[in-house]
Structure 1
Amino acid sequence: MTCIVGLVDGDRVWMGGDSAGVSGLDITVRADTKVFRNGDYLIGFTNSFRMGQLLAYRLDPPERAPGVDLFRYMVTDFVDAVRGCLKDGGWAQRSNDVETGGSFLVAHEGRLFSIQSDYQVGEAVRGYHAIGCGADYALGSLASTEHLPPEERVRKALECAELFNGGVRAPFTIQCLPARAVLTLTEAA
């Protein structure tokens, strides 16, 4: 289920997501969005709506200490807060002494990070990323639309994922995280 797309544009990060809730062959178009703001963070999730709800309403990201590199902060302090949040909320899983969570994108301070289910943090050099079952289609679209404005690139990536993947559905929620504010653009199908 899902397609979440993130795109860095100067000091802004655009993020978009679909509305599909998928269980087996059943699909529900959900009113609660997969892309949301939590303080100074823009987050888009896949895997589980419960995980997304915890990230939206329970996660309290710690302040970054002065002088601490942002990537280092994301790998340590931010991920530690996420792990605690998911564990306390009953979502984190443990098997063979390995703890796992879920996958989501995070925009913060003009940068885009991918958090994987093993809590590794990634930052793509190309300035965009996508996760979920529609990610490959979205990435192909993003690679071929560099000439378009960022919001349109995100929308086209989501439309491409919906066209070719049964687990992706409009309406799409597209948000932009500038340095100090978020613009929200939600479109109907």
Structure 2
Amino acid sequence: MTCIVGLVHDGKVYMGGDSAGVGGYDLHIRADEKVFTNGDFIMGFTSSFRMGQLLRYKFKPPYHMPGIPIDEYMVTTFVDEVRKCLKEGGFARSDNGEESGGKFLVGYRGELFYIDSDYQVGRLADGFAAAGCGDQIAHGALYATNGKPPEERINTALEAAERFSAGVRGPFVIKSL
């Protein structure tokens, strides 16, 4: 359970996340942040703290060859390395030959990407995205705050998700790259 929010503003990616660790009816406020940078990437994860730890500390972002469009790089080279990292770290799952991981947002070179549990890479036309149990609430808040400063929009989206979702709790962490 969580809420991760990202948006693009003036060529920069802003991302925020909550601090809830939820299992069943248990709630723990975690000190290990769900939003972090790894090299030239800003990431925010849902699904599992183990996945987030692998992305933060084990994942080595692959080289982006000049001339390769960013979408192509993210869908191929980047995701292939993520899959390898999650598999080697014991997180990736396989069910009837179908591989799955978790959901997370990635900011890279001023673009925001949504990585789904089947490793498909999405880029939303609105210039913002949210993931986790509070994602729909956050999307509405991001839409309604268009034109306000990015940190304010993210904070408002996270506050709305906290107010209306049992799986979202502050403190909130907001970073940019």
Normalising by the smaller structure, the TM-score range is over 0.9
Deviation, 1:147, is: 2.5
Distance in 2, matches of 1:118 and 1:111, equals 20
Aligned to 2:90: 90
Distance in 2, matches of 1:77 and 1:144, equals 35
Aligned Cα root-mean-square deviation (Å): 0.4
Write the mapping of 1:91-110 to structure 2, written as runs, cut at 5 A.
91-110=91-110
Distance in 1, matches of 2:105 and 2:131, equals 8
Gaps of 5+ in 1: 178-189
Is 1:126 the counterpart of 2:129? The answer is: no
TM-score by length of 2: 0.99
Distance in 1, matches of 2:77 and 2:153, equals 32
Deviation, 1:142, is: 0.4
Aligned to 1:181: none
Deviation, 1:141, is: 0.2
Aligned to 1:155: 155
Write the mapping of 1:21-170 to structure 2, written as runs, cut at 5 A.
21-170=21-170
1:33-92 Cα shifts (integer Å, max 9, x gaps):
000000000000000000000000000111111100000000000000000000000000
Partner AA of 1:146 in structure 2: N
Deviation, 1:127, is: 0.2
Distance in 1, matches of 2:168 and 2:42, equals 20
Distance in 1, matches of 2:71 and 2:10, equals 18
Q: How many residues align?
A: 177
1:122-172 Cα shifts (integer Å, max 9, x gaps):
000110000000000000000000131111000000000000000000000
1:85-129 Cα shifts (integer Å, max 9, x gaps):
000000000000000000000000000000000000000011000
Distance in 2, matches of 1:121 and 1:149, equals 27
TM-score by length of 1: 0.93
State the SS of the aligned residue for 1:55: helix
Distance in 2, matches of 1:67 and 1:138, equals 35
Large movers: runs of 4+ above 4 Å:
none
